Chains A and B, each alone.
Chain A
Amino acid sequence: MSKRKKNIKLFEKEIVITALKQSFVKLNPVTMLKNPVMFTVLIGTIIMAVVSFLALSGSGGSLGTPGYDLAITILLFITVLFANFAEAIAEARGKAQAESLRKTREITPAKLIDSNGDITVVNSSSLKKGDVFVAEAGDLIAADGEIIEGLASIDESAITGESAPVIREAETDKSSVIGGTKVLSDKVHVLVTSNPGESFLDKMIALVEGASRQKTPNEIALTILLAGFTIVFLLVTVTLKPFADYAHTVITVAALISLFVCLIPTTIGGLLSAIGIAGMDRALRANIIAKSGKAVETAGDIDVVLLDKTGTITIGNRKATNFYMSNGVDNNVLIRSALLSSISDSTPEGKSIVELAEKNNIKVSESDLKNAKFIKFTAETRMSGVDLPDGTQIRKGSWDAVKKWSVNSNGNVQSLEKVINEISQKGGTPLAVAVNKVVVGAIQLEDIIKPGIKERFERLRKMGVKTVMVTGDNPLTAKFIADAAGVDDFIAEAKPEDKMRYIKEEQKNGKLVAMMGDGTNDAPALAQADVAVAMNTGTQAAKEAANMVDLDSDPTKLLEVIEIGKQLLITRGNITTFSIANDVAKYFAIIPAMFMVAIPGFQTLNIMRLATPESAILSAVIFNAIIIPLLIPLALRGVKYKPLGATAMLRRNLLIYGFGGLITPFIGIKLIDIIVRLFV
C-alpha cells in the first residue's frame, strides 16, 4: 500500500499550465473587483492602452512617446497577470491536493438496503443522507457514514496514508467510516451521513479551490487597510496633475500611472488571496479538513489547548515497570503470582505485566495453568486473578480492594502501604498482588511520556499557548505526569462536564480554547471550544460539533493546526510590511525621473543613479511586477514560524521584511536599470 503523495512540487508543469490559463480567465472585471488593489491596476492598464493609441496620432506633451507608453502598458498588464497567476497557482495546487483525495471517491457500487430490508446495488453517487448500505470484506465504502451494525477492519491508507488497518465498530467512539476506504474483513451496515457533494471532504475541496472561500476576519481588515493605502496614493497621483500644471511642469500620463501602480501595495494585493488559499492547502496537506478558513485563522490566536493525556501526552497505555515485594516474600513468588494472574488478561496492562515478568526470566508452563479458573475484572470487585487447581488463589487489583480481600496478611499491609503511596506520588498506578488472602507485593504501572512531547509543549509555551492535560487519573498521579510532561495545568478525574466547565471558564476570561475529541460525550465541549478538532475515527456527533477533522486521528495535530494558523497571519503581515516599505525606493526612482527635465537639481535625489527618466520609471515598474512572482514561493510555503516570543519575532520580521523591504528595491531597481538602459 503506497502512501498518498503528500508533497506537490511548487511549480509542477501541469499546475503551472492550468494556472497560466486561469490568469487570463481571472481578468474578468467582476472577478477582479474582489481585489480592489489589482482592480485599480487593471484600470491603469486600460488608460495606458488608450494613451498609447492616442500617442500614435500625435505624441509629445503629457501623452509621451508611443513606444514608451506601450512598454508601460504591457508591463502593467503583466503585473495584473502575475497577481492572477499567484492566485491561480495557489488554487491549482489546492485542487491537485484535493484531487488526490477525491480520486478515492470515484463512483463505486453500493449495496443499498431498502425499507423492506432487501439489498439492491446502486451507484454510490445516488446515496443520500439517511440511506443504509452494507459493506463486506473486499468492498469499498461507498460514502461517508456511521456504522450502525457490526464491526470491520478497514484499510484507510487511501485517505490517511497510514498502512495499518483500523477497526471500526458500531456503538463505539470509533464508528465512523470514510467513503473510498476498503473493508478488509467482516461486514458492516453503514448509515450515510451526508448528501453527495456535502461531505467534509467536499467542503474542504471547495475551500481550497477558492469557489466558496470566504475572506477571514483579519483578511477583511487587511483588505480595508490596503484599500485605504490605494485611495491615499490615488489622491497623491491624481492631484499631482494640477500641481504640475500650476508649476508649469509637464508630467506624462505614463509617469503618473506608473507612480500610482508602484506606490499602491500591489505586492501584497496580488498575493493576498494566494496566501489564504495556501494556508488551507497546508492544513489539507497535514490531513486536516477545516470547515472554514476562519477556523484555521482562529487557530493562530489560541491561548489554551486541552489535550487528552492518553495518546497525546503518554503512549497509549500504562506499562508495568517494577515489582515491589512485601516483607519476607520471595521476589520470584511475587513475580510468578503476578504472571499467573495476568497470563489470560488481555488488557494492555496485563500484557505489559507478562512482558516484565518474562524480562525477569520467569516463565510458567502450560501444565501450571491446567484447569485453572480465571477471575475476570469487574467494576464491583476491582480485582482480577486466577484460582489454580491446587487451591491457590491469586488476586491483583486496586490497593483498597486487595487490602480488603487479604484478611490473612498481618504486618505486610503496613510495609506495603508505604510502597503503594510512593508509587502514586511518582505518578504511577499501583496494583497490589495477594496470594491466598495474604498480600505479597505490588506492581508499578507507569505512564510513558511520549518522546519529544516535552519540547513541543515548550514550543507552545513560547508561543504563549497554555497547555492543559485532561485525564481520568487521580490528582496526585495527574500532577506527577503533568510536571514530567511539562504541561501548564491539568484536569484530574475528568468527566466530560469538567472539560466543558474549564473551557467556559477560560473563555469568560477572554481566552480562545482549542481541544481535540472523538467521543459523542466530547461533542458539547467541542462545540463550545473556539477551535475543535475531531478525530476522523470519532463519532459523527463529534465531527459535527468540531470545526476541523483530522484524517490521521493524531492527537498531537492540534499543535500543527496552531502553527498553520499563525503562519497564515505572519505571511500576510510580513508581505504587507515588505510591500509598503518598497515605496521608499520607488519614490526615489520615480520622483526625480518626473521632475529632472524641468528642474535638473532633482538629479541629486536620483541616488540610485538610474540612467534616464524613462529607464528609471520602466525599472521601477518592472521591479514592481516581477516581485510578485518572486514572492509566490514564500506566499505558498508561508513564512517560517519560529516560537521566539512576540517582541523578538517582531524584531526579527521587522528586520527581514521591513528593513529588507526598504533595501531590496534599491538594489533590484538599480540592477534592472543596468539592463533596461541598453534598450532605451
Chain B
Amino acid sequence: MNNEIIGVIITFLLTVLIAIPLGKYMSKIFKDEKVFTDFFAPIERFIFRISRINPDEPMDWKQNMKAMVLLNLVFFFWALILLLIQQWHFWNPAHIGNMEPTLAFNTAASFVSNTNLQHYSGETGASYFSQLLIMVFLQYVSAATGIAALALLFKGLVQKQTSNLGNFYNLFLKTCTRILLPVSTVIAILLLLNGCPVTFNGPQDVHTLEGKIIKAATGPVAPMIAIKQLGTNGGGFFGANSAHPFESPNYITNMIEVISELIIAIGLVFAFGYYSGKKKLAYTIFGAMAFVFITFVSLNIKWETGGNPVINKLGIYQSNTSNMEGKEVRFGAPASSYFSIVTTSTSCGAVNSAHDSFMPLSGGLIITDMMINAIFGGVGVGFLNFFVFLIIAVFISGLMVGRTPEFLGKKIEAREVKIAILVALLHPLLILAGTGISSFLAAHNPDTGWFTNPGYHGFSEMLYEFSSASANNGSEFAGLSANVPFWNIFDGLIMLFSRFLPIIGPVAIAGFIAQKKYIPESAGTLKTEGMTFGIVLLGVVIIIAALSFFPALALGPIAEHFLL
C-alpha cells in the first residue's frame, strides 16, 4: 500500500476519532446539559431578550417548523436584497458590481439552502462585504438550521405521548454559539497557521517569473473556508474552491478541510446514540453509512489511480500513472478521490479537483453519492434524509417478522410511511424530472449553447447539475454554462424545495411519533439494530436511492465508460 492511500486511511480514522467526542458534546447541548461552553449563556440570553423570544417555550412540530421557515425567509431576503445592491457596499475594494436578479435569486437560494452552488466566481462576483455578511453568515445559519432541525427529531423520537419537540430558536442559537463558532474558530486558526490568508486589502500585485505583474485576488479567506467545510456548505472564497492555493495551500490543509467536512455529520450519528441511549443503533447506522462510504472511496481511488486508458494508448510518458487531469499535484489522486467522495457524501460541495475530469465511472460514483444524499450527509439534514430510509427499512423488516413495525417503541403506521415515501420520492423527482426537462429542451434546441460537451458527457454534466442542486451539494461538473436565467431560476427552485421539504417531513414524523404511546420491548419486538437490520437498511438505501437512478447513470457515465 502506498503512502497516499495510507494518508487517506489516517484521515478517515482521525475524522471518526474526533467525531465521537464531538457527538457526545453535541448531544449534551441538545439536552441542555452542562458543557464547558456555558460561558456563552449570557450572550445567548441577551440575544433572546432583544429578539423577545422565550427559548424555553415548548413547541410542537408545526410551531417549530414555522419558526424554521420564518427564520430562513428572513435570511433569504437579507441575502437577496444585499446582493442586488452590492455595488454600493463598503468593504468592496475590487469595486464589484450588482448581481443580475436571477443570479442573485440563485445565490440567495443557494446559500440559504446550504447548497452553495455558485453561478458566480467568488473573486470577481462578490464584494468582501457580501463574502462575509452574506455568504459566511448564511454558511453559519444554514448549517445551524439543519443541526437544530435534527435535534428536534432526536427529541421527538425519545418523547412519550407529548407534542413537545423542544424549541427551535433555542437549539438554533446554541448550535451557532456552541458548536459552529468554537469549532470553526479552531479550524480557521489551523488553516491560518498553515498559510491561508486573512486580509481586508484588495487584490495583491504579484511579480511573476516572466517579469509581468498580475493581480492576485485575496481576502479574509481562512474563516470562510473553516465554516464552508465545517457546515458542509462548500461555497469557496475563490472560484477554484479548495483547489486554489490560498484556500488549501498544502496536504495538511487539505486534510484539515476534508476532516472538517465530515466531523459534524459523523458526530451527529454518535450524538443520536448518546441522546437516545441507543448506542447500538447509532453504530448500526454508522456501519451502514460507512460501508457505502468506504466502498465508494475504494472504487474511486481504484479507478482514478488506474489512469486514463486513452492517454496510456497514446504512449505519452507520465511520471504519475494516475488520472491526474484536473487534479492538484500537491494532493495527488487518492486524496483527491477521497475529497470527492467526502464532499458528495456530505452535502458540502467543496472541491479540490475538477470532478468533470474524473474517469467516467468515478464521476458516476460521485453523482450516485449525491443521489443517495444520506451517507453521513449534510450537517443535520444528512441524518434527516437517512431517517426516511430508516423508517422504510423498519416498516419492511417489521412485516417480515410478523409484527406491526415499531421503531424505538413507537408503532410505524400508514401516516409515517406516507410522509417517508413522499420525502424519499422528492429527490428522484427533482433530479429525474429536472434532467428530463432540460434534456428535452436541449434536444429540441441544440443551439442553447449550454453545453461545451455534447452527447453522453453532456448528459452526465446535466445529471450532475441537478443531482448537485437537489442534494444541496453545490459542486459542479464544469463545462456547463450555468449562469443563464434558465439555470439560475430552475436550480434555485430545486435547491429551496429539496432543502426544506426533507427537513419538514422527518420532523413531522418525529412529531407524530412523539405523540404515540410507548410500547416496551418484548421478545417479539424486532430490535432495529445490529447486522441483520443493517443489511435491510442498506438494501433500502441501495434499491430506492441508487437503483432508481441506474438507467440515467447508464446513459451518462456508464455509456461514457464503454466508449473509452
Contacts and interface: CB of A to CB of B under 8 A. Distances in A.
Interface of A: 217-218, 220-222, 224-225, 227-229, 231-233, 235-249, 259, 297, 300-301, 303, 461-466, 509-511, 565-570, 572-574, 576-577, 580-581, 583-584, 587, 591, 594-595, 599-602, 604-605, 641, 645-647, 649-651, 653-654, 657-658
B425 A242 contact: no
A203 to B, nearest CB: 24
A236 B548 contact: yes
A511 B519 contact: yes
Nearest to B547: A583
B134 interface: no
Given A641-B402, A646-B525, A650-B536, A236 B432 contact: yes
Interface string B413-443: 1100110011011001100110111011011
B202 to A, nearest CB: 44
A511 B519 CA distance: 6
A218 B396 CA distance: 11
B559 A464 contact: no
B543 interface: yes
Interface in B518-564: 518-520, 522-527, 530, 532-533, 535-536, 539, 543-544, 547-552, 554-555, 558-559, 561-563
A465 B433 contact: no
| Contact-residue bracket for chain B | 35 or more
Q: Which of B436, B456, B543: most chain A CB closer than 10 A?
A: B436
B433 A570 contact: no
B401 to A, nearest CB: 5
A300 to B, nearest CB: 5
27 contacts: A217-B414, A222-B395, A224-B417, A225-B396, A228-B422, A232-B544, A236-B551, A242-B436, A246-B442, A259-B551, A465-B524, A511-B520, A569-B399, A577-B396, A577-B400, A580-B543, A599-B562, A604-B562, A641-B402, A646-B403, A646-B524, A646-B525, A646-B526, A646-B527, A647-B532, A650-B400, A654-B532
Contacts of B439: 239, 242-243, 245-246
B250 interface: no
Contacts, number: 214
A566 B403 contact: yes
Contacts of A651: 532
Contacts of B398: 569, 573
Contact of B425 (A228, A568, A574): A228
B93 interface: no
Contacts of B535: 654, 658
Given A303-B522, A510-B518, A595-B555, A650 B397 contact: yes
Given A569-B402, A645-B523, A650-B532, 5 more contacts: A225-B395, A242-B439, A509-B519, A510-B517, A599-B563
Contacts of B517: 510
Contact of B548 (A233, A301, A569, A577): A233
Contacts of B456: 247
Contacts of A238: 436
Interface of B: 392, 395-404, 409, 412-414, 417-418, 421-422, 424-425, 428-429, 432-433, 435-437, 439-440, 442-443, 455-456, 458-459, 462, 517-520, 522-527, 530, 532-533, 535-536, 539, 543-544, 547-552, 554-555, 558-559, 561-563
B414 A247 contact: no
A653 B401 contact: yes
A464 B524 contact: yes
A480 B425 CA distance: 57
Given A235-B429, A239-B436, A569-B399, A595 B404 contact: no
A619 B424 CA distance: 31
Contact of A646 (B401, B424, B459): B401
Nearest to B444: A245
B526 A601 contact: no
B552 to A, nearest CB: 6
A232 B400 contact: no
Contact of A587 (B433, B519, B526, B550): B550
